[in-house]
Structures are given as C-alpha cells and as structure tokens.
Structure 1
Amino acid sequence: MDQMRLAFNGVVKSVRYSRFPLQPTENGERHLEVKLSEDGTEEFTDVEAEGSPSFRPAPQNYSRRSIAWLLLGTLLIFIVGYLVGYISHSKPKVEFLNCSPEKNQTAGKQSVVAPVTQTPVAPVTQTPVAPVTQTPVAPVTQTPVAPVTQTPVAQPAEVEMDFKNISQLLAKKMTREAFQKTLGDFDKPRRSAGSDEDMSLANSIFDGFKKLEMDPWTDIHYVQLPIPDSQNPNKVQFGSEDFSLAGYLAYSATGRVQGKLVYGNYGRKEDLDIVTKNKVELKGCVLLVRAGKISFAEQVANAADRGASAVLIYPDEADYNYVADTVLYGHVHLGSGDPYTPGFPSFNHTQFPPTRSSGLPKIPAQTLTRSVAVKLLQKIGGPEPNATSGFKGGFKQVSYRLGGVENITVEVNNKLVNKEIHNVFGVIKGFDDPDRYIVLGAQRDAWGSGYARATVGTSVLVQLAKAFHEMVENDGFRPRRSLVFASWSAGEYGSVGATEWLEGYMASIDKKVFTYISLDGVVMGKGGFMASASPLLYSLLETTMKEVKSSVGADTVYDMAGKTWDANVMRPMTIDDPAYPFLAFSGIPSVSFHFIKPNSEVYTYYGTQLDTVDRLNYETNHQTNEITAIAAQFAGQMALHLVHDHLLSLDVNRYSKTLTKAVAGVYKRIRLLSQVKDLSPSWLNRARGSFQRAASNLYNDIANTNLDDKEACRILNDRIMTVEHSLLSPYVSPVEVPFRHLLFGRGSHTLASIAETTDVDELRTQLALATWNLQGCANAMVGNIWDLDEEI
C-alpha cells in the first residue's frame, strides 16, 4: 500500500496545472504571486522565482511496476467506496421488542405508511436524516403531534376575519352596561400622582391585565413633584387685605415679589401688545390674567418675556361657571416630563447631575379664586381698554381696567417632594409584525376625583384591552401588529409618566411605535366632536367618523360634523395635550379626540375639585355611559384599522397642505425683510417638492405592489413610518429644545418660528437647517439610497 501511495503522489506531482499561462524567463523558471487588495479582491503578479535551483523538484521516471500498483490502488479505492455507500444507504432492520402480536402487526403497518405521511412534514419539522436515526416508533408518536401543534399557527391566514365583521364584533362589546360597572370601579375621590390611591389603581390595572394574560409590566420612575407647603401657604397682599390661597401651579418659581398690578386679559402675545399700546408698563409688574385660550405655562412664559415679576391666574365668569371659591390647579412647565431630568428618564436622581429644563419659569405664578380676583379687579385702577379689544370679562361689578397703579405682593412657597410613580402596561401581540405596535394610553391621576380627566379614560383603556383579548382568544381575530395598553401616572403635572417612558426607551420605541391614541378626556359633553392629530392620521379620522354610529341625533360621528369636517373638527395640537409629547418630542403620529357640547372646546371643570360624575352627567345630559361606549368604539375602530390592514392607515399625502402653508409663511417673512435680498427660500421650496415627489412615488409603489406579500408590505410600511420621526430636527438638543418637530414643535428651528424671526443671521442659519431637515425626511421616505433625488 505504501508503494502504491508513493506512485500515486509521484504521478500527481509530475503534472502542474494553472489557468494562468507561464512564460519561462531566461533561466527557464517563472511563478505567480497572489496578493489581497484593499477591496478584498485578489491581485496576481507574475514574478521570477527566487531560491537555489537545488530546491526545484527534479524530473522523475516511473516503471511499469509503479503504474500497475497505481491502477490496483485505484481499483481498491473504488471497491471500498462502493461498499461503504451500500452499507450506509441500506434500511435498518426493524425489531419490535416486548410487544403483543397485535401490536406488532399494527406497528408494522404504520412503519410502511410513515414515509408517506411524513413527506410534507419533513421539510418543516425535521431533516431527511430522521428516518435513519430514529426507530419507526418515533414517526408513530410524532405523526399526530405535528398537525396539532402547527394548526393554530397555520390557520390565521385561512380564517382571516373580514374587517366589517371584526368592527361589528367590537361594537357589540362596547356597551353601556359594561361601562356602568367599569366607571364605578375606577371612580375614586382622590388619586394624586404617587399617592396610595394612585398605587392601588395601578395594582388593580396590573392585576386586570394579568388575568387577561397580557404579559403586564410596570415602568417605575422617581420624579420631583411640587406641592403646597401646608405650614407656609401661598399668599397675596393687596392694599390692606391679605389672602391665603389654596390652589397652586406646579413648577412655579418660589419666592416673594412685589410690583404694580396689571390686567392682561388671557395673557396672549396680542393681549400684552394692547396693554403696552395703552402705555401701561409690563416690566416688573404682577400680571393678572384670566384662564383660557392658552395654557397656564404659555401665559407665564409670555409674561416673563415681557419682564413681568409674577403672574396671577383666575377663572372669569365669562369662561367658567364656577362657584366663588372654586380652586384652580395646574402646572406652568413649558414642556413635559420631569423638568429636573430634561431629555433623560428619572430612574434615579442620584445618578444624574442636577439639571433644569429650559421650560421652567423663572417667575412665581399662582391661581386665584373668583372671589379674590373680583376684589383685585375692583381696585386695580388705570386706563380702560378699547371696547373692541375683548378685554371685558363676565364680572358685571368690575370695569376691567388695565392697572399699573397699585402695588401687590405675591408669595409662593411650594416645595418639591420625591415621588415614586408607576406606569402600567399590557400587550396583545401581533401575529405578523409583533415588533410594530400601536399604543393606547390614559392617565389615571388627577388633582381631585378627576372623573372626566382620568376615570373615563382609564375605563375605556381597560374595556378595550378586555374586548381585544376576547376577540383574539375566542373569536378568531388575528391582529397583524401589536397593541400596547398604557396607564400613565403624573399626567396632571405635564404628562410626566408618559414622557419619562419616552425618554427612557427612545432608542427602542421611536421606530417601532407607529401611532399613539390618547384616551384622556374623550368624553366632555354631548352633541359635538373635535380632534387634534398628525396630518398622517387625518384620513383615518375621517374614515372612522363615517364608520362609528352616533346615538345623539345623527347617524354617524361624521354626520355630526358635516361635509367640511376638517374645518369643524380639527384643532391644532397644543402643548398641554397628552398626545403632544408623542408627536413633537418622539415623532410618533398621534391623535386625541373629544366628544363635547356643541360650540364648546373645553371642559371647564378640569383642574378643579368639580370634575365629578355629577358634573359630567350634567354636560352629557345623563348619557355619560352611552357616550363613553361610543368613544371607546371610536378609539377601538382606529386601532383596528392600524393593526388589521395590510398597509398602515397613515396618509403621507395629507402633509402636503400643512407643508405648503408653512413654507408660504417663510416666503412672506423673507419678502418683508429688505436686508436679505440675497437670500431666497427657493431651496426650502425644492425640499418641499422633494417631499411631495417622494410621497407620490411611495403611493405608486403601493399601487404596483402585491399587498398580500407580507415582506413587501413591511418594506412599504417601514417607509411610511419614517415620515414623522424624520421631521424631528437633528440639530437641536432635547435638553434645551425638547419639542424638535419641524412643523409642530416649539423653538427657533420650526418653520413657524422662522416665519416670525427678525434676526437676519439667525434666519440664514435656521433656514438652511430646516431645508435639509425636510429634504432628509424626503430621502428617508424614498427608502433605497440609489433612488434618492439629487435636486438639492
């Protein structure tokens, strides 16, 4: 055998093969040198061989005997290989031990049938080696198991429910009787954030999600919440009168200040312009404004910008039908979340440096009761505003003069306390794309009872979770994407719980949560409807309004609004909207909606102890349960579209009108500034054009795609999901400018701010950044880098 091996090796070495022609050098020897280039390819270099000729193999001669040994070895190898192949492919002998004859006969029959029944299963559950390594008993025991365990997974596509049937099924579960019980269960007299009552409600919701097998979890944060100092109450001193005040405004600056008392209507910028035109000094004054039109935080920010030293806010009789001593609560943080951990979560304050949000006011602010406000307005003095200015309120016993005459002293002594708050979550996982999810959320805390503010929303959240679970568990509903149900704490302080969650898990959720539906304040009255949303959700809102029946004198919710539904229904999303941080901070398409009284846009009992079941029943004509069921069906119907349809119900084309209007505002501003003749907004307009072309191309791709192809739909949906997130400016810090959205945010980076700026240098910089922000959104929508538009 050794001789045969030597002969074989000799023959092989005697012949050299190469696909590269070798030309001899002068000494008759050349070879190829192979090198790896930087791009990973091989480079071949023809170089002269080095070394002594003694190292080169010498030519060899072979005898007939060697050739014979070689042929004999080849034949022997062939025979051995054949025998090994034959043995390895032969069927093993089957033996049945310790079995009765009847069982042997049965088993024998099954062993013959096994290859036939396992043929379709084998590619899925096991490799073709299985029959060799296992005895025939394995196919017998596994054969019935495979179809049983795989049947639930394979069936959804076959038994997919029609959307109309799913919608009807959901409507049947949203009943007046169901909400009568749930609303009663969550109606509590007290529920302040971080209190024992708040924790008890959180545990109740968690246990409910656990019973529904929704894999519940909690998100715990340690936040700083301001509360009044019971030993040192807030005060106002005017003339010879001292007033101790019960209500308060969270996150107000503390301290004692004095200044001239000035009346500023609602504290809007245009209101303060009127005060200035009447030659009343705002710098150093204590500004008295009535609640409404804009948030408390915006009122305080506007006053601080004009140099006021403090702000007092009261409910005027023209806006609020309160008793004289009704106390107001609220917050004045021009932002959301814990302002002492801006841009990052409040998991543990000891781990982070002391930081303050840029939205925290630097001046004290305090609420007043009606009775105290009347006494101040009666003695304020100063000039009277023009009758057409709209400054006159509802108090008949006062003239609403502008003041600027008498001094007033304001003392705010609120204190910060550390509170542990719990957000509670439950999930119903999708069957196709479980890593894409919609979030439905509601706050459960309130200043007092918070019936409309918290009880209704929490009840809708829990009932929807129960309904969707039953539809999946018992009725065959198979959502393509996941539904997350969230109960937030510390919502009254500026969506603290929700924002801390967004800050804590931004990297995980910013590209996976494709819609947020707020359930806060969904019932405020009867007979009207309004909503605030990202333009991506306008079409879905319209569709849902046409589908959901109304029991208040109209066939559908759409009939309540009429054909010009967008003008009658849609409102800009304000900073105090619970959905706002999801849209403007995280770039998640968001929506909030409210059933209201006709010609009304607010629920006047928010932030008071009057937000009770009796007050809401009065506003709904004692149909709170029925309207709550309709509101729940409305939210559920939107969620159904978003998790059931092959394509996400987000309409990119609806952004065109909003973009065009915003860009037109920038054009107008640049035309008004004569010193920027060399600056043109045409590049911004081209970016807008790129956005619209990208949206058009996206819908062309949708029209030319088989929507039954799951992978193709996922690619299209990912392109749709980039839009809102890509409109967040990457050029600003979330600490200084948390609301980074180009269109709906707050700060110098927004198109609205650019359309108002008078600083030429700032205008140039922000215009350039906004242009590329918008172009980047268009590029993200395109998807493939080789399809990008190079117009800019």
Structure 2
Amino acid sequence: MDQARTTISKIFNGEPHSYTRFNLTQNMEGDNSQVEMKLSSDVDEEVGGNGVGEHLNHNNSNRKPYVAQKLGRTPKNLCFMAAATFLIFIIGYLIGYLVHRNKDVAPICAASVLPAEEPVARETGAAPLMDWDDVKKLLAKKLTASKLDSVFSDFSSTDHQAGSPGDESLGNKVLNKFKEYGMQSWTDEHFVKVQNAPASGSNKFVFKNNPEERPSGFLSYSFTGKATGAVLYAHYGRESDFRMLRDKSINMNGRVMLIRAGKISFAEKVANAAKMNASAVLIYPDPIDYTIGESTQMFGHVHLGSGDPYTPGFPSFNHTQFPPVQSSGLPKILAQTITQRMGTTILRQLSGQNLPEGWEGFNRLGDESDTITLEVNNVLAEKKIHNVFGVIKGFVDADRYVVIGAQRDSWGPGFAASTVGTGVLVELARSISDMVKNDGFKPRRSIVFASWSAGEYGSVGATEWLEGYLSSLSMKAFTYIDLDGIVTGQNAFKVAASPLMYSLIEKTLKEVKSNKDMSLSSQFAKGNWEANVLEPLKMENAAYPFLAFSGIPSVSFRFTTGVSDYQYFGTLLDTRDKLNGVTSSQVPQLAEMAAKFAGHIALRLVHDHLLQMDLRKYDSIIRLNVAQINGKVNTVQRVQPQLLPKTLTVQWLNSASGSYSRASRSLAADILNSDLEDVEMCRIINERIMTVERNFLSPYVSSRESPFRHILLGSGPHTLKALSTHLDALGTNNPEADADLFRNQFALATWTIQGCANSLAGDIWSLDNQI
C-alpha cells in the first residue's frame, strides 16, 4: 500500500524531472475544462501563446499529435502508467469489497438488537396504558368485606368527640396507615370554637307545675340564657308547618315551639321558628318516628351553615388577625333537645286548638296558658382539631385532584356516623396505592384522602380547610366524594350530587355489583333512576360546602332503609349492634359495595383523558328555572302591575340561558373532535369543564354573609329559587316583598349565568355577546 501511495503521489504531484506536468484549470462557468499533460519543451510555447484555449486550438502541421509525442519520445513512462493503473484497480476492488461486506453484516447486528417485529408499548405520558376494565377488576379484587370488617374493628371507639384525646388517637391511626401505604401525608391544624354542654350545672326547663327536667343532651351554638313562653306544637318545624299555624291565626310571637325531630335539620327548625319570632325551641324524638327508647338523649348543632361560626368566610388558624365576628347563621333564640318521655309529657297536657289535618300526634296545639321556662347554659370553648391527609399523585396532571373525605369524630360510638366512613377511606387508600405500586396502574390525576374532625358541629374541619385554601382548591380540586353515613340500611340506595356528575353516577350504578350479584342499578334504580336514586344535597352534608361554597362538583351517597333516616344519628346508641340490626348484619358487605361505588367514581375521574362531567343537566335545570320565573313574572305583571312594570322583561335571562346552552353544546362538540393523545388539548378542555361549577357561585354576594353562593344549589336571596319565592310574595302583595330588591337580584342572577356561559365558551374571541 505504501508503494502504491508513493506512485500515485508521483503521478498527481509530479517529480522534479523535466518530463511531465499536470495543469488543472477552470473556466469562468465553474466547470472543469480540461486536464492537460505537457512536456517541458513545450513550456516556452505556452508562455508565448494566448492562454489555455489558444494552446488547445492551435494547429501546427509540423508537429505530431500530443499523445503520440508523449509515447514516442518516452516509452519508459508507459510502464509507470500501466503500473499506476493496475494499483488503482486493486485499491478500488479492495474498497468495493469492504463496502459490500459491511452491508452484509449490518442487518445481522440490527436483528440482534430489535428482534421483535412490533414496537414495544410504552408510557408516553399522554394516556395510561391500563384498560378501564382491568382497572375495575383490580379494585374489585382488593376491596373485600372481610378486610373492611377488620378495619372497622381497628377504628371503632366509644369516645372520639372532636378535639378529644380519642379523636387525636384515631387521627394518628389514619396518618400512620397513609404512611404505611407509601403515600405522602400531612396534617392540618385548626383552633375552632364549639359550644358544649355546661361543665357544671345543666340545661333545664320547667313546664307548668311539673318537676324540673335536666336533659343531658344539647344543641351546640344555641343562644344562651333563659326564656319563658307558652308552648306551641309545630310538627316538624318546616316552613309549610308554620304556614299552617299562621293560617289558623295563631299568635306565634314569643312562643316556645315544641318540634318533632326528623325531616329537616335541627338548624333549619330553629331558623324557621326564629322567623316566627319564637323565643325558644324544644326538639324531641316522637315515638311515631323513633323507636330509640323514651330516655335516649339527642345531640346536634343549630348553626345554619358549616364551619366555625365565629370565623365565617375565613379559616380558624391559630392567632388569626381577623376581628371578632359571628356567622349570620347563628340563632338568636334558645334551642334544646329533650327526650321522648319529656316531649310526650308536655304534649299530653297541652290545650288550645286541634291539630291541623294530616298532623300526627296528640290532639292539641297549646295555648297561652301552657307556659314553660327554659334555661340553656352551654359553654363556648376553643378546641384544637386536626385534619389528616394522604395523596396518591397522578402521572400526567398531578396538580389536579379528586378529594375523598370522611368524618372521624362523633358524639359517642358513632359507628355509622364515622367508623364505617373512616374504614372505607383507609381501605380505598390502601387498595389504590397497591394498584399503583404493584399492578402498573398510573392515574393521570391525583387522589387526596382526607379524614375530617369536628364534623358533628357542622362539617367544621372540612369547611375550615376549604376556607384556608379556597383560592387553590377551587382551581385544582375537581370533585369531592363524601363517605359520611354511607351505610344506614339495606333496602334503598340514595345519591345526592352535582348535576355535572349524573351521567357518571348512572354509569357507575351499572358497573358496581351488589351482594345479590346484580348491578346497583338493577337492584335499586329500576325504571327512572333519577327518580328512584337521586335526592337533594342537604346543608348538613359535608359535601354541601364543597359544592355550594367552593364550586367543586360533589357527591354523597348512602345505603338506607328506604323508609326513614337512621334513628341513632346524634345519639349514644350509634353502635355496631344497632347498625347490624337495620342491615341484617350485612355491614361489611354493604360497605364493600359503597367502597366500590366511591372507588369507581374516583378512578374514572383520574383515569380518563377527559373529565366525565355532563354539562347538559345544568342546561335543562337552568331552562326549567327560567321558565318558572318567566311564568311568575307574567303573573305578577298581570295581578300587581304597579310592582313589576311591563318594562321588566325576562329577555335577558332567556338570552343568558341560551348562551349557556350554546356554550355547553360547543364544548361537547370540542370533546367529540378532540385528540385524546394531545395532552395540552385535554388539559384545556378539562379546565373549561372545571370552571362550570365555580362560575355558578354568585360574585355579587359576600362569602361571609352568604357563604353558599351557588345560584342553583346554594342558599340565600341570590339563588334562582329565592327569585321564584320572591315572585310568589310579590304576587300575593306580601309586605316582606320588595320589587326594587327583586329587580336587582334578578339582574345579578342573570349576569351570573351569562358569566358562566362566557367562561364555558373558552377563548375571549369565542364569546357570545348577543346579550
């Protein structure tokens, strides 16, 4: 090879001899014109000539052709050129051989690296690889009645009132479980004010000349002091019950209302009585509704709201700098529970008018001579409570999460009120954590598990957490699933939820199997599932502040007797034996189905690319409310034209309703046409869905004065229901009606709906400005 290299160098670079020289020239066009070989004797001719072109075109008849001269004069060069040609041929052959050999070897190496014909599946971050049917099967395997039964035993306690050592001990148990499952866990500390029974002395009452009675049960947040008045029986204390009494021209001013427990909350009973200018309320369990024994004490609260009523609208963290203030939901009248025996003793001695038609019980309502003196000495105290949390983080949108929560405290044993829910919460955390760690399940979004304290005082722990982190939660938490009181019977299944979740609930009812090896839908939701399963979400439910205060779609559910509410809530008889009695000892089996129902909803929401929320339900609800308001406005304008002039039109409200309808249909179309593998597109659509509930919160009322700002499901004069009620008052010329106030509320509600439609539409250039 060295010899060949030397020879080629001699040919192309030349030797210091006189016999050859190479000239490489380029013309002005940039191409190679010619390669010229000249003898040294020709140099003089080139120098004296006209350049390359002239030299090549020169014809001299006395000279031999160029190559002939070359070959003729130096025959030795022929040998060198032959040798060079042969060496070039050999080198070219070797190069070709090596290239050809490499081509033959390369496929063998590639085959050894990638033997599979199909590409290996991999997680792209855009979508979990696990099929939804596999997710359901995994959850079903991990949630069993036997495991739940064991957990219930671990978390059963006879003394875990909020802020007590027993409550703190249970909280530490939950925290340790979360840590054991490998979850990131933390606690949230609050200093809340609650009202307890007097530590010394007692609450008491004296009716006529009967002996003094001292009930040990109490109603937290009652007004304290002493009141004397005539007893008036008011059935269940509903607004309709008080209207019946008013229609009988009965004076209710200063009366002490005797009211049966049930139908509505203690707080609503007291609030309704206060509107009638009553001085006090006594609540008892009637034997028609309750078979809990004549001496069983009842406990509860009368704050018409949720959370710490002494920090309304803001969190009860330690050393807060907010000035002292009280919730508008605190009553200004006395309230006290009494036993069944105490209540029936009073009823037997009442005189006055007969009961209205349809009211069960004794014969008389009571008159001015049936006097009673009530004294309430409850004590306000500050308690330190802890909420406990654990999180399973998502793999795509980890900063978006569903929250699953359960109350941990209770007045007494609280087996149905708190133990079952806490046990299901812990088991769901264990099961889903295990699915992620050991079975390859990768949720797109996160799941937060929460154990609340002070639930018996009105969802205090949950509400304080919401108030403390409202700005973050309202943007990132997209669903709350409540586990309180999920097993109170076995004959019916009831669900209270945001309308956004109706479709998901219907699907889940069909997927979850009952203990009779049939779907929950087949067993409990025959025919019209909404009529048979759905019920209103009540204010005393822990899911209510998530929905009506924070604008987070929420769901609460329960197995029930189908006839009445669980009798032992709010008593010291809420034990495992009592719950076994109303469920035929099927508590673990019913809890398993409840856990699967909650688990299916949570996993579906964190598994799918797009949130399973149905915007059409709110469309129909808005249209129904608008139609009712439209009809009532026309009626008032006809019968009371001086109150609502013809210039007041529902055109704006109709237009806002139409805007929401178009925006919801547009988003539904975007969902159908979306690319599920486009992570950013899915996130944008999910953000639009998440704004719907939040934008139904009226921005025109104070969260301190009217915390439940949801115009469709909230409470207060800003709601569409309140508008409809106000129109009824205007139509009857009720002195409490205010036409100017109605017009103002009407305009604000209209623009709240329009604002929700604008947000749902998405980009600012997509807004419908027809209003």
**Alignment TM-score, normalising by the size of structure 1:** 0.79
Secondary structure, in 3 states, of the residue corresponding to 1:427? strand
In the alignment, what sits opposite 2:360? 392
CA distance in 2, matches of 1:700, 1:385: 57
In the alignment, what sits opposite 2:630? 667
| 1:381 paired to 2:351 | yes
CA distance in 2, matches of 1:224, 1:159: 46
In the alignment, what sits opposite 2:738? 759
CA contact (8 A) 1:533 1:590 kept: yes
Alignment of 1:307-322 (within 5 A): 307-322=277-292
Distance 1:375 1:623, change over 3 A: same
| Corresponding residue to 1:174 among 143, 168, 187 | 143
Matched to 1:507, the amino acid is S
| 1:604 paired to 2:571 | no
Matched to 1:250, the amino acid is S
In the alignment, what sits opposite 1:537? 501
| Corresponding residue to 2:266 among 254, 271, 296 | 296
In the alignment, what sits opposite 1:67? none
CA distance in 2, matches of 1:349, 1:310: 34
CA contact (8 A) 2:353 2:364 kept: no
Deviation at 1:291, TM superposition (A): 0.8
Deviation at 1:406, TM superposition (A): 1.2
CA distance in 1, matches of 2:343, 2:602: 45
| Corresponding residue to 1:490 among 446, 454, 457 | 454
CA distance in 2, matches of 1:228, 1:678: 56
CA distance in 2, matches of 1:177, 1:165: 22
CA distance in 1, matches of 2:355, 2:472: 54
Deviations 1:1-27 (A, max 9, x none): xxxxxxxxxxxxxxxxxxxxxxxxxxx
Distance 1:476 1:157, change over 3 A: farther
CA distance in 2, matches of 1:159, 1:528: 35
| 1:367 paired to 2:346 | no
Secondary structure, in 3 states, of the residue corresponding to 2:370? strand
Deviations 1:731-752 (A, max 9, x none): 0001110000011111110000
CA distance in 1, matches of 2:768, 2:657: 12
Deviations 1:37-89 (A, max 9, x none): xxxxxxxxxxxxxxxxxxxxxxxxxxxxxxxxxxxxxxxxxxxxxxxxxxxxx
Deviation at 1:600, TM superposition (A): 2.5
CA contact (8 A) 2:268 2:302 kept: yes
| 1:625 paired to 2:588 | yes
| 1:208 paired to 2:208 | no
Deviation at 1:341, TM superposition (A): 0.2
CA distance in 2, matches of 1:489, 1:350: 20
Distance 1:280 1:509, change over 3 A: same
Deviations 1:114-164 (A, max 9, x none): xx9xxxxxxxxxxxxxxxxxxxxxxxxxxxxxxxxxx99957769711100
CA distance in 2, matches of 1:519, 1:153: 36
CA distance in 2, matches of 1:271, 1:377: 17
| 1:569 paired to 2:548 | no
How many matched pairs? 637
Secondary structure, in 3 states, of the residue corresponding to 1:243? coil
Deviation at 1:351, TM superposition (A): 2.6
In the alignment, what sits opposite 1:788? 767
CA distance in 2, matches of 1:624, 1:264: 36
| Corresponding residue to 1:513 among 477, 483, 491 | 477
Distance 1:729 1:402, change over 3 A: same
List gaps (5 residues or longer) in structure 2.
1-105, 107-119, 727-736
Deviation at 1:558, TM superposition (A): 4.1
CA contact (8 A) 2:142 2:431 kept: yes
Secondary structure, in 3 states, of the residue corresponding to 1:756? helix
CA distance in 2, matches of 1:384, 1:747: 34
Distance 1:252 1:444, change over 3 A: same
In the alignment, what sits opposite 2:115? none
CA distance in 2, matches of 1:667, 1:759: 18
| Corresponding residue to 1:472 among 436, 442, 446 | 436
In the alignment, what sits opposite 1:82? none
CA contact (8 A) 1:668 1:755 kept: no
Distance 1:590 1:158, change over 3 A: closer
CA contact (8 A) 2:303 2:458 kept: yes
Matched to 1:391, the amino acid is W
Secondary structure, in 3 states, of the residue corresponding to 1:439? strand
In the alignment, what sits opposite 1:228? 197
In the alignment, what sits opposite 2:160? 191
| 1:326 paired to 2:296 | yes
In the alignment, what sits opposite 1:436? 400
| Corresponding residue to 1:613 among 567, 573, 576 | 576
Matched to 1:784, the amino acid is D
Deviations 1:338-364 (A, max 9, x none): 000000000025532110001000001
Secondary structure, in 3 states, of the residue corresponding to 2:599? helix
In the alignment, what sits opposite 2:681? 712
CA distance in 2, matches of 1:431, 1:504: 27
Q: Which moved more, 1:350-359 or 1:667-676?
A: 667-676
Matched to 2:245, the amino acid is V
Distance 1:443 1:750, change over 3 A: same
Secondary structure, in 3 states, of the residue corresponding to 2:475? coil
Larger Rg: 2
CA contact (8 A) 1:537 1:649 kept: yes
Distance 1:785 1:400, change over 3 A: same
Secondary structure, in 3 states, of the residue corresponding to 2:613? coil
CA contact (8 A) 1:526 1:552 kept: no
CA distance in 1, matches of 2:517, 2:372: 52
| Corresponding residue to 1:345 among 315, 318, 323 | 315
In the alignment, what sits opposite 1:266? 236
Matched to 1:666, the amino acid is I
| Corresponding residue to 2:713 among 730, 736, 744 | 744
Matched to 1:367, the amino acid is T
CA distance in 2, matches of 1:548, 1:287: 46
Distance 1:555 1:435, change over 3 A: closer
| Alignment RMSD | 1.7
CA contact (8 A) 2:127 2:677 kept: no
| Corresponding residue to 1:721 among 690, 710, 713 | 690
| Corresponding residue to 1:648 among 611, 615, 618 | 611
Matched to 1:300, the amino acid is V
In the alignment, what sits opposite 2:47? none
Deviations 1:317-375 (A, max 9, x none): 11111100011111100000000000000002553211000100000100010000011
In the alignment, what sits opposite 1:72? none
CA contact (8 A) 1:280 1:403 kept: no
List gaps (5 residues or longer) in structure 1.
1-115, 117-150
CA contact (8 A) 2:718 2:745 kept: yes
Deviation at 1:552, TM superposition (A): 4.0
CA distance in 2, matches of 1:403, 1:550: 53
CA distance in 2, matches of 1:392, 1:609: 27
CA distance in 2, matches of 1:400, 1:584: 40
Q: Which moved more, 1:538-547 or 1:659-668?
A: 659-668
In the alignment, what sits opposite 1:578? 542
Deviations 1:378-407 (A, max 9, x none): 112111023x3x2213xxxx4243444311
**Alignment TM-score, normalising by the size of structure 2:** 0.81
Deviation at 1:756, TM superposition (A): 1.2
Distance 1:210 1:670, change over 3 A: same
CA distance in 2, matches of 1:560, 1:307: 43
| 1:680 paired to 2:649 | yes
CA distance in 2, matches of 1:530, 1:159: 32
In the alignment, what sits opposite 1:278? 248
CA contact (8 A) 1:290 1:313 kept: yes
CA distance in 1, matches of 2:741, 2:140: 53
Secondary structure, in 3 states, of the residue corresponding to 2:206? strand
Matched to 1:685, the amino acid is N
In the alignment, what sits opposite 2:216? 246
CA contact (8 A) 1:669 1:756 kept: no
